[in-house]
Chains A and B, each alone.
Chain A
Amino acid sequence: MSQNLAPPIRRALLLTSLPVYGLLYAPLALIAVFSFAPAPGSTTAGLHWYNDLLHAPDVLAALRRSLTLALGSSILGTALGTLMGFGLSRFRSRARSGFAAALPSLIIYTPIIMPSLVFGISELIFFNLMHKATGLFAAGLLTMGIAHVTFQAPYVALVVFARMAGLDPNLFEASHDLYANGRQSFLYLTVPVIRPAIIGGFLLAFTLSIDDFTISYFTAGPGSTTLPIYIYSAVARKGISPDINALATLMIATVIGIGLLQYGFTRQKDRQTVPRTGD
């Protein structure tokens, strides 16, 4: 595509893109560099601050909570989001135009575009009321988990919905034509065919949960400090310290790793796709 552009325009685009990438990645790189800062009283850079993290019980406890929360909410969020994406795509194939056809994307997008601050506060108020009324829903990992599932499911649904929309609708008819009832068609056709989307959605949900601060902050209770909340309070208390840099670097590495995994699954999906007709 860029080959069609005149050389001066190409140069100009390149020159614009470099600062953009710089602004995107330089801060991250900076944190990573600072994380290898020498220990107090030493002059050699090294893994000192990483070592510190391993011996900080608060950090390890927060990490454990974050992982528990992310894993639990992602599993539930993926299951619900998959069903949601599947259901909405089947709904769409029946409604061809008008409000009914736009409804699925509306349902999916609204939670996604909702400001997380508003989302967090409304969850806080909701759980408070529920707690007063029923005695359940005490602020803690459970309320955080529920809140995470509610923002994860639409993302998963979006990924699954997109995959479903790219499939030949005749596939589902073909499965019924070949004696599969609704359950069999879902298990033996839908799930395998959208598996890359489900896995991709899960990984997305996981990264969303593990680095979520705003919504977690409002729904957290005593003793449910996750890694992002820990980092925030540590920074608020004593400013940026090198151990926070090390922690942030680890999180960046994790998220990039998961991102690469997700990319791999998306690629696999493309390879499997069959053209709709002919050669």
Chain B
Amino acid sequence: MAEPAMLPRIAGQADAATSSAPTSGIAPRGAIRLEGISRVFGGGVVAVDRIDLDIQAGEFFTLLGPSGCGKTTLLRMIAGFETPDAGRILISGREMQSVPPHKRPVNTVFQSYALFPHLSVAENIGFGLRMRGVARPERLARTEQIMALLQIDAFARRNPAQLSGGQRQRVALARALVNEPEVVLLDEPLSALDAKLRAELQVELMRMQKRLGMTFIFVTHDQHEALVMSDRIAVMEQGRMLQVGPVLDVYEQPRSVFVAEFLGLSNIWKFTPRPGNMAETAIGALSIATPITTQRTAMIRPEKIWLYPEADAPRDRPNMFAGVVREAIYMGASTQYNVALAGGAIVLALDTNNQAAERSWGPGERVVLELKPANIMLIDG
């Protein structure tokens, strides 16, 4: 996963903050392990509840969840701004509980950017190196290098107050990356930007992470952002990790209704098992491909549902449902159809608009939906 750093290293660049601490075990540089981490705030609010997690070195890992789920608290504990009430945090195999923030091999990109108002862009970026006693010539060289990489060298002498949101975001990122930390922590760094800039910076962040080979831990409540950028994601709710895994796995095979609903659109039905691996749901009996054991909830993503004009629908296949389009929501690349079945249940189906001229439906038109058995996922509970 980790690519070798392509940023040419400058001679004599010792990593003062990190090389002094003794390493235990064989954990690679930038790997993170959380063991039984808990944090309870005053008033008994459990922000983080016994979390175990391994993050690989060089991974782009995203903590995804609604506000108040504990993702930011978890990030702040890794940075050292919060102290866990229980558990161990290991970075590159080293225990971190008693290490203050300024001695941890991590750098944070804050949601508010937290750029120092009294320093220029270049001085902001060089701050970490200056605090670590890196000599001025090397400091300037590294600062210039990272500014060139992030294309902010034109603003080197400006004050943060004179920059746009996107430029500030880049400066905040450069200020973290220039220190070549083992781990970069990003706390919703894109949430204050408009959609277009956000999309640009998402790609740029990803590219930068792959290029420098550092571990990125990214906190967001935006599921789209999580899907676009991450190698793996952890979906959090009420201080717990509901599911951790590669983006594809979590999206395609959510293990709980919360994860299914938080990550993208979904159709979810409770069911009663019937002979022949059938599931009796609110829309009728569904033929299921995976063997039904203890699961009692069925889920299918809207884009996994096939739509047919009533006349052309195949007759000889399972899970065909006729319905009437209630709403057709045009979203540019695709159209979302809210289809009312005979019993009144609404099914969401997504159709790409690559042949919209030939096939598209308006409200009131009749369609046939195909829920292929292989596309129906079973969820426990």
Contacts and interface: CB of A to CB of B under 8 A. Distances in A.
Interface of A: 96, 168, 170-171, 173-181, 184, 188-189, 192-193, 195, 271-279
A191 to B, nearest CB: 10
B127 A273 contact: no
A150 B277 CA distance: 84
Contact of B131 (A96, A168, A179, A192): A179
Interface string B58-94: 0000000000000000000001110000000000000
A279 B165 contact: yes
A177 B101 contact: yes
10 contacts: A168-B114, A174-B110, A177-B79, A177-B101, A180-B102, A181-B100, A188-B131, A193-B117, A278-B192, A279-B192
A184 B113 CA distance: 20
A238 B81 CA distance: 67
Interface residues of B, number: 36
B7 interface: no
Contacts of B159: 272
A109 B369 CA distance: 72
B102 A177 contact: yes
B161 A174 contact: no
A190 to B, nearest CB: 10
A181 B102 contact: yes
Interface centre among A178, A181, A274 (most CB of B within 10 A): A178
B108 A174 contact: yes
Nearest to A275: B161
B164 A272 contact: no
Nearest to A271: B161
Given A181-B100, A279-B164, 7 more contacts: A171-B114, A173-B108, A175-B131, A176-B81, A176-B101, A177-B102, A272-B117
B118 A173 contact: no
Interface in B153-195: 159-161, 164-165, 175, 179, 192-193
Interface string B15-47: 001000000000000000000000000100000
Contact of A173 (B42, B101, B115, B130): B101
Contacts of A176: 80-81, 100-102
Q: Sort A-B residue pairs by CB-CB distance and give the 4 closest, nearest first.
A: A278-B192, A178-B128, A170-B114, A174-B114
Interface in B91-131: 100-103, 106-108, 110-119, 127-128, 130-131
A274 B102 contact: no
B132 A179 contact: yes
Majority SS of interface residues in chain B? loop
B112 A276 contact: yes
Contacts of A272: 117-118, 159, 161
A279 B131 CA distance: 29
Given A176-B101, A178-B128, A178-B179, A170 B116 contact: no
B104 to A, nearest CB: 8
B199 to A, nearest CB: 16
Contacts of B42: 96
B143 to A, nearest CB: 13
Interface in B310-358: none
A123 to B, nearest CB: 38
A179 B17 contact: yes
A192 B159 CA distance: 14
A229 B79 CA distance: 58
A188 B127 CA distance: 9
A101 to B, nearest CB: 12
A168 B112 contact: yes
Interface string B136-165: 000000000000000000000001110011
Contacts of B192: 277-279
Given A272-B159, A274-B161, A173 B114 contact: yes
A179 B80 CA distance: 12
A178 to B, nearest CB: 4
A180 B108 CA distance: 14
A96 B45 CA distance: 15
Contacts of B114: 168, 170-171, 173-174
Contacts of B119: 192
Contacts of A171: 114, 116-117
A96 B132 CA distance: 33
A181 B103 CA distance: 9
B110 A173 contact: yes
A180 B165 contact: no
Interface centre among A179, A193, A272 (most CB of B within 10 A): A179
Given A273-B117, A277-B192, A178 B131 contact: yes
B165 A278 contact: yes
Interface centre among B103, B127, B179 (most CB of A within 10 A): B127
Nearest to B105: A179
B107 A178 contact: yes
Contact of B116 (A181, A189, A275, A279): A189
A137 to B, nearest CB: 41
B188 to A, nearest CB: 10
A127 to B, nearest CB: 41
Contacts of A271: 161
Nearest to A167: B117
A96 to B, nearest CB: 8
Contacts of A279: 164-165, 192
Contacts of A173: 79, 81, 101, 108, 110, 114
